[in-house]
């Protein structure tokens, strides 16, 4: 890793990273993996989705992990960002639901039950 | 759920959005820019003034103005100063600090480095509970990655400021969240508090000036530096600025973390964001501030939530746990639960807390068993006030709060236990009686078969009876009966 030695270095790195994110045309599946999410089966949801993506030969899907999404009541939670669409957060993602997210939403854009509406502004 | 956006995410702005183990994702959200800008373009005094102007107050529960704390620490001259992050979150039902450390560890790392620059410290320590293994792993990775990238270490961003962070593990003592006890624990001593002054800002870790802030307090620093004090102070109430993260737990539909502007009402939190009470039951009370706080009730639904209003109601902000209770919760038992906790957690250094907690617990225990007297009520009140006035640290001084606040609002429940030997919520098993309603009993024998002590007798297809002397009030028969023939009173 190149060391950062000034504010200008940091700004350049940020711009590069943001550009890369804008150019990314993949669907990004972000699984909440805090202690609580893992305890309620977040890892299982991730494994099931990875297998389903491979089975369907969907090449343009990326998986990432994040921390707590703050919806304990709906854990495990998964956020799916399809390019050109608003990100959607699905709650209550058990193994069957994880499969359905890939088969229905990622493949064909059909929404499922259990979408958690955005009820906050980010600072 | 309401689509109205009542929540503003500042401390939890990145939680659930970025990969906590990938420093690049943090940098893409303007990470480390506030630190770079501070050490490049601002003086330490500028940073202190910005935080002071923002009106940020300690989110660990005390509510002390953060900028003032930093200013005091910056004024003392010493060869070495320290920044400490208090991540010893111990309140039952509070998990906001863990969520921040697991979801956005870099925001704490960056804020600590900014604090170091403001007060003139080159070393930081995070005191974190050993019970948070994933938070520890992610925080350690964040520190290592930041060091490898050069945003931590010597001469950050080409400036003369150097800063590095190490972790110290707490062993799960609640009292170590108190800053003086925390410092002793970090120095390898017993985790026991000492009297203040001197405050840590003057003489803290190894006797040097130390700024101690809670995780959530640090998580607010970077947004203030990036967006300015005026933006931050435009949110919240006159004396409590910004937002507060609450952990909604208990009998509420949408259990989870919420971050709301100060001054929001309990009504909005519980019924609009929280979705109301589970199973359509009646709302009774909310315990805020954990074992140090008090109960807010239906009378307080329209009170704006901020530091001063909660103290006026006999509760406190605490670290932000909100335990919601409904009609099935017995307030005497709730007070007993919290006393049981503080009785376990008292360090034993001062007598009022060590002995007082035990005596208070014994009296509550007596009342829940129906053996209480009216003298006990007077004695509870008197001892509570004595402990409050004489205990050494915050743990003891706030310990009687759950008792005092439940007594003030739910004195009738205490009276019911003492005078009528009844528990109105049907929780205290010593005061319950299970009886069979003869009109409804069909004599199916299901209850007799599940009774663990064989106290139910009766022939098949005839009315059964429960022998009250042998009954242990386990409730197995009530659950088994399909005909609603068993009542609990």
Which residue bears the tokens 């109960």? B295
Mutate to test the interface with A, among B42, B95, B135, B150 (most CBs of A within 10 A): B150
CB contact under 8 A, A121 and B7: yes
Residue B188 region, left (φ>0) first, then alpha (ψ -120 to 50), else beta? left
Cα B20 to Cα B10, B27, B298, B354, B368: the distances in Å are 16, 11, 39, 41, 47
Q: Give the whole-angstrom CA distance, residue B181 versus residue B186.
A: 9
Distance from the Cα of B249 to chain A's closest Cα (Å) equals: 9
Radius of gyration of chain B (CA): 26
Interfacial B residues in 187-216 facing A (CB < 8 Å): none
Q: Confidence class of residue A1 from pLDDT cuts 50, 70 and 90?
A: low
Q: Chain A contacts of B17, Cβ < 8 Å?
A: 30, 66, 122
Distance from the Cα of B301 to chain A's closest Cα (Å) equals: 21
Q: Is B13 on the interface with A (CB under 8 A)?
A: yes
Q: Which residue of B has its CA nearest to A7?
A: B36
Q: Chain A contacts of B259, Cβ < 8 Å?
A: 70, 120
The CA-based dihedral angle spanning residues B136, B141, B147, B153, taken in that order and rounded to the nearest 10 degrees: 0
Q: Which residues contact A54 (CB under 8 A, 6 or more apart)?
A: none
Q: Chain A contacts of B256, Cβ < 8 Å?
A: 70-74
pLDDT score, position B2: 43
Provide the number of CB pairs (under 8 Å) joining chain A to chain B.
137
CB contact under 8 A, B37 and A4: no
Instruction: Identify how many contiguous H helices and E strands chain B contains and give both numbers.
Output: 20, 14
Cα B452 to Cα B351, B436, B471, B483: the distances in Å are 43, 17, 9, 20
H or E element in which residue B488 lies: strand B486-488
Q: Give the whole-angstrom CA distance, residue B103 versus residue B65.
A: 26
Q: Is B69 on the interface with A (CB under 8 A)?
A: no
Q: Chain B contacts of A6, Cβ < 8 Å?
A: 36, 40, 157-158
More confident residue, A2 or B304: B304
How many Cα atoms sit within 13 Å of A91 on the Cβ side? 16
pLDDT score, position B3: 43
Q: Which residues contact B153 (CB under 8 A, 6 or more apart)?
A: B147, B162, B163, B164
B118: its two tokens: 């403001």
Q: Give the whole-angstrom CA distance, residue B410 versus residue B412.
A: 5
Query: Residue B233's CB: how many other CB atoms inside 10 A?
Result: 16
Polymer length of chain A: 123
Digitized pLDDT (tens) for each residue of chain B, 489 residues in all: 444 578 999 999 999 999 999 999 999 999 999 999 999 999 999 999 999 999 999 998 888 999 999 999 999 999 999 999 999 998 888 899 999 999 999 999 999 999 999 999 999 999 999 999 999 999 999 999 999 999 999 999 999 999 999 999 999 899 999 999 999 999 999 999 999 999 999 999 999 999 999 999 999 999 999 999 999 999 999 999 999 999 999 999 999 999 999 999 999 999 999 999 999 899 999 999 888 888 998 888 999 999 999 888 888 888 889 999 999 999 999 999 999 999 999 999 999 999 999 999 999 999 999 999 999 999 999 999 999 999 999 999 999 999 999 999 899 999 999 999 999 998 898 888 899 999 999 989 999 999 999 999 988 888 999 999 899 988 899 999 999 999 988
At B255, phi and psi to the nearest 5? -65, 135
Interfacial B residues in 287-306 facing A (CB < 8 Å): none
Closest CA to B465 of B489, B483, B448: B448
CB contact under 8 A, A66 and B1: no
Q: Give the whole-angstrom CA distance, residue A95 versus residue B301.
A: 40
Q: Is B98 on the interface with A (CB under 8 A)?
A: yes
CB contact under 8 A, B95 and A36: yes
Q: Is B396 on the interface with A (CB under 8 A)?
A: no
Q: Give the whole-angstrom CA distance, residue B456 versus residue B454.
A: 6
Q: Which residues contact B375 (CB under 8 A, 6 or more apart)?
A: none
A118: its two tokens: 């955005």
Per-position DSSP letters for B129-145, written without gaps between them:
ETT-HHHHHHHHHHHHH
Q: Give the whole-angstrom CA distance, residue B268 versus residue B248.
A: 13
H or E element in which residue A12 lies: helix A7-23
Q: Chain A contacts of B151, Cβ < 8 Å?
A: 4, 10
∠A9-A12-A14 over CA atoms, to 5°? 110
pLDDT score, position A87: 92
Q: Which residues contact B289 (CB under 8 A, 6 or more apart)?
A: B61, B91, B310, B315, B316, B317, B318, B319, B321, B398, B401
Q: Give the whole-angstrom CA distance, residue B287 versus residue B295.
A: 4
- Cα of first residue to Cα of last residue in chain A, in angstroms, is 30
Q: Chain B contacts of A38, Cβ < 8 Å?
A: 134
pLDDT score, position B1: 42
Strands B465-466 and B243-250: unpaired
Q: Give the whole-angstrom CA distance, residue B179 versus residue B197.
A: 12
Q: Which residues contact B329 (CB under 8 A, 6 or more apart)?
A: B251, B284, B285, B425, B427
| CA dihedral for A119, B2, B3, B4, sign (positive or negative) | negative
Closest CA to B357 of B378, B322, B384, B375: B384
From B7, B19, B40, residue closest to A7, measured CB to CB: B40
Beta pairing partners, B466: B456
Distance from the Cα of B140 to chain A's closest Cα (Å) equals: 15
B141: its two tokens: 């990775």
Question: Using one digit for the tens of pLDDT, what is the confidence trace for A77-110?
Answer: 999 999 888 999 999 999 999 999 999 999 888 8
Using CB atoms within 10 Å of the CB of residue B410, give its burial: 0 to 12 exposed, 13 to 18 middle, 19+ buried: buried
At B43, phi and psi to the nearest 5? -90, 160
CB contact under 8 A, B13 and A122: yes
């Amino acid at each position: 890793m190149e060391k950062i030695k000034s504010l200008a270095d940091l700004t350049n790195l940020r711009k590069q990273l943001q550009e890369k994110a804008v150019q990314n045309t993949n669907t990004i599946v972000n699984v909440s993996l805090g202690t609580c999410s893992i305890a309620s089966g977040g890892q299982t949801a991730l494994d099931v989705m990875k297998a389903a993506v491979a089975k369907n030969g969907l090449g343009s899907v990326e998986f990432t992990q994040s921390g707590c999404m703050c919806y304990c009541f709906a854990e495990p939670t998964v956020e799916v960002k399809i390019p050109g669409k608003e990100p959607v957060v699905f709650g209550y993602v058990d193994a069957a639901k994880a499969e359905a997210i890939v088969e229905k939403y990622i493949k064909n854009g059909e929404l499922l039950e259990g979408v958690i509406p955005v009820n906050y502004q980010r600072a | 759920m309401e689509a109205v956006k009542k929540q503003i995410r500042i401390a939890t702005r990145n939680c659930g959005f970025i990969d906590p183990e990938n420093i690049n994702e943090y940098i893409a959200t303007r990470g480390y820019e506030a630190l770079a800008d501070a050490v490049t373009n601002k003086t330490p005094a500028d940073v202190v003034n910005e935080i002071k102007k923002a009106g940020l107050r300690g989110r660990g529960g005390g509510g002390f103005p953060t900028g003032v704390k930093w200013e005091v620490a910056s004024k003392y001259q010493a060869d070495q100063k320290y920044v400490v992050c208090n991540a010893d979150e111990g309140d039952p039902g509070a998990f906001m600090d863990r969520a921040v450390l697991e979801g956005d560890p870099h925001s704490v790392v960056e804020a600590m480095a900014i604090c170091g620059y403001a007060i003139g410290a080159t070393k930081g320590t995070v005191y974190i509970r050993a019970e948070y293994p994933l938070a520890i792993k992610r925080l350690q990775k964040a520190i290592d990655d930041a060091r490898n990238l050069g945003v931590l270490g010597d001469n950050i961003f080409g400036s003369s400021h150097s800063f590095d962070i190490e972790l110290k593990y707490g062993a799960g003592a609640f009292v170590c969240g108190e800053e003086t006890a925390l410092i002793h624990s970090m120095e390898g001593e017993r985790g026991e508090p000492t009297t203040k002054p001197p405050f840590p800002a003057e003489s803290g870790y190894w006797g040097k000036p130390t700024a101690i802030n809670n995780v959530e307090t640090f998580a607010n620093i970077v947004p203030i530096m990036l967006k300015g004090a005026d933006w931050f102070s435009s949110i919240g109430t006159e004396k409590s600025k910004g937002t507060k993260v609450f952990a909604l737990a208990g009998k509420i539909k949408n259990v989870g973390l919420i971050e709301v502007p100060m001054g929001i009402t309990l009504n909005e939190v519980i019924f609009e964001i929280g979705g109301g009470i589970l199973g359509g039951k009646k709302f009774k009370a909310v315990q805020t501030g954990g074992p140090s706080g008090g109960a807010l009730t239906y009378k307080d639904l329209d009170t704006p939530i901020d530091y001063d209003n909660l103290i006026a109601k006999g509760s406190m902000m605490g670290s932000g746990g909100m335990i919601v209770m409904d009609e099935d919760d017995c307030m005497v038992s709730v007070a007993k639960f919290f006393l049981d906790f503080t009785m376990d957690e008292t360090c034993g250094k001062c007598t009022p807390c060590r002995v007082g907690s035990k005596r208070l617990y014994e009296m509550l225990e007596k009342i829940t068993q129906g053996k209480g007297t009216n003298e006990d009520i007077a004695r509870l009140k008197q001892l509570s006030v004595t402990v409050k006035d004489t205990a050494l640290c915050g743990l003891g001084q706030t310990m009687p709060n759950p008792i005092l606040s439940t007594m003030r609002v739910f004195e009738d429940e205490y009276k019911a236990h003492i005078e009528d030997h009844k528990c109105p919520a049907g929780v205290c098993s010593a005061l319950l009686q299970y009886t069979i309603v003869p009109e409804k009993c069909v004599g199916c024998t299901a209850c007799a078969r599940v009774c663990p002590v064989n106290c139910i007798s009766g022939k098949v297809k005839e009315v059964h009876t429960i022998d009250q002397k042998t009954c242990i009030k386990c409730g197995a028969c009530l659950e088994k009966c399909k005909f609603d023939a068993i009542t609990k009173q």
